[in-house]
A = this chain, B = another copy of it.
Amino acid sequence: MKPANNFVSPMLTDFYQLTMAYAYWKDGKHEEPAVFDVFFRQNPFGKSFTIFAGLEEVLRFVSAYRFADEDIEYIKSLMPGCDAEFFDWLKRADCSKIKIYAVREGSVVFPRIPLIRVEGPLAIAQLLETTILNLVNYAGLVATNAACFRLAVGDESKVLLEFGARRAQGPDGAVSASRYSVIGGFNGTSNVLAGKLFGLTVKGTHAHSYVSSFSGLDDLKTNSIIDPDGKKHDFVSLALKFRKQLGFNHTNEGELAAFIAYAQAFPEGFLALVDTYDTLNSGVPNFLSVVMALHAIGYKPIGIRLDSGDLAYLSKKAKKMFQQVRERFPVDGFPNLLIVASNDINEATLISLKQQGHEIDVFGIGTHLVTCQTQPALGCVYKLVEVNGKQRIKLSQDVDKVTLPGRKEAYRLIGSEGTALLDLMIPVGEAPPRPGERILCRHPFEETKRVYVIPTEVISLHQCVWDGRINVPLPSVKELRRYTLDQLGLMRNDHLRTLNPTPYKVSVSNRLYDFIHELWMQEAPITEIQ
């Protein structure tokens, strides 16, 4: 079980993890049992939810955790003067004594809930920090972004494709974006490598450069097409005949040549980019000429792609032109032509298009999706909550940054309407909440915010995913996508709303509340002001 990317290794870490490991080792503290929580403090993009993703890569990373000999040599060179025995220890370091609990990949998650809990020898658990955070931060960010785009489109029948490879933050940014966009609700990608690695649906047609590589019909080297029955046709004459019949006499002939060549190559998958010269005066007319020609010999063309201009207006106009042709030349089985739109689409564009009305069937989304322009980083952190049996709290002037000490379980409480009411954390060992039983749920820091809940259903959020080996099945990306969409279905709409969504409650049991505050008072210094 190796990670997909060769950069994912124990070396993908901050140097201070190694210096800390050495300091622990030097003090003889490195084997002390420790517990770290991975969580975030704020949902991204001003939303009220986040999708958790990246777990499979974390498990593959942990599974293959071993420093290579050359890595050890390199690290030695960074740490002159350190005891040689430490490097022997580091060379043997692996995750066989580590236990990992986590929420399921694709879950809808909220601030403060431990997404991953890492338990094991202090130095090893510490060494995992940077890589785990790297693997879950971007994954969750893109999956959440994709889910927001999916929610903004509204209509489940609309197809969303990830087109961002060229603008992504590096090769892995591209491949991860494809994978986690699909987990968040996209239907496919243009990225061939991601398609191969993760079994995703891969889509694509042609670019403007393809169209502009043809100056005119003379540039065509072939003009024949074989119909489904094996009969050969002069396809240029056929397309020109229909162009004349449709009355489109002033279209760009280079573009027409490009469409003809493309149809000859993909008679069963003809989808043309129509905005190279002039969408309504050249692109769509040329497209329809080729469509009629293909249809006449028994093929079913697919549709057009719009990559510039006013997408709502152009899609409606193009749709109308399709209908006019259909009405003027009523032929049997004339296909339902699709309209694909791309061009710097973001969440606001999707919402605006929906308001204006549009005829777009498929959205190709790149830069804004993969770089998460609105907020390009998710702030997952990795905090020590227990060491050697002692619960630890990290204090801060900023209450939001205070950590919740100790090992915690998390539950989602479902109400009588079948939607999630709140998430509840309890200390490991406390009796879990039960359906039908009233439980007091408290805000972790604001003492007056309390609520009694009688859940109709209780979902346990954590499971042990690693126990020296991978402990859970690894679902396919398509299964994760289904799971994500189902989990979103459990949420009230107001939590998922695009603008000013209602915050979802994350609470602690009374016992955990008391414990947090006791420890806090104990650790917080009372400073003197003079």
By a beta-carbon cutoff of 8 Å, the part of chain A in contact with chain B is 5-9, 11-20, 22-24, 26-29, 32, 34, 36, 71, 74-75, 78, 81-82, 122, 126, 129-130, 133-135, 137-138, 141, 163, 165-176, 190-193, 195-196, 202-210, 212-213, 215, 219-222, 250, 252, 261-262, 264-266, 268-269, 276-278, 281-282, 308-309, 367, 371-373, 375-380, 382-384, 387-388, 390, 392-397, 523, 525, 527
Contact = CB atoms under 8 A, between A and B. Distances in A.
A75 B195 CA distance: 10
Contacts of A81: 268
A26 B266 CA distance: 10
9 contacts: A12-B191, A23-B210, A27-B221, A27-B222, A75-B192, A126-B210, A134-B171, A138-B169, A282-B525
B392 A212 contact: yes
A93 to B, nearest CB: 14
Contacts of A135: 171
Given A19-B205, A134-B166, A261-B23, A7 B193 contact: yes
A203 B15 contact: yes
A184 B523 CA distance: 43
A219 B262 CA distance: 73
B192 A18 contact: yes
A366 to B, nearest CB: 9
A459 to B, nearest CB: 29
A202 B78 CA distance: 8
Contacts of A32: 213
Contacts of A276: 394
A439 B213 CA distance: 33
Contact of A174 (B134, B212, B222, B384): B134
Across the A-B interface, the 8 shortest Cβ-Cβ residue pairs: A15-B204, A16-B204, A172-B172, A170-B172, A133-B166, A169-B169, A371-B376, A209-B384
Contacts of A6: 5-6
A8 B281 contact: no
Contacts of A383: 208-209
B22 A213 contact: no
A375 B367 CA distance: 11
A405 to B, nearest CB: 10
A392 B134 CA distance: 43
B527 A278 contact: yes
Contact of A196 (B74, B202, B375): B74
A23 B206 contact: yes
Contacts of A269: 19
A57 to B, nearest CB: 9
A271 to B, nearest CB: 9
Contact of A219 (B29, B75, B219, B382): B29
A45 B527 CA distance: 43
Given A172-B5, A173-B169, A394-B276, A71 B196 contact: yes
Nearest to A61: B171
A43 to B, nearest CB: 16
A396 B308 contact: yes
Given A12-B174, A23-B264, 13 more contacts: A12-B191, A16-B190, A16-B204, A16-B207, A26-B222, A28-B221, A82-B265, A169-B377, A170-B172, A170-B175, A277-B523, A308-B396, A373-B377
A168 B372 CA distance: 12
Contacts of A387: 213
Contacts of A382: 166, 209
A26 B16 CA distance: 56
B373 A376 contact: yes
A218 B96 CA distance: 29
Nearest to A379: B167
B26 A169 contact: no
A268 B222 CA distance: 75
A31 B435 CA distance: 70
Given A190-B15, A192-B75, A221-B29, A5 B171 contact: yes
Given A7-B172, A138-B169, A265 B371 contact: no
Nearest to A264: B26
Q: Output the residue of A8, A171, A208, A221 with the most chain B CB within 10 A.
A: A171
Contact of A394 (B212, B376, B380): B212
Contacts of A378: 167
A246 B13 CA distance: 37
A14 B204 contact: yes
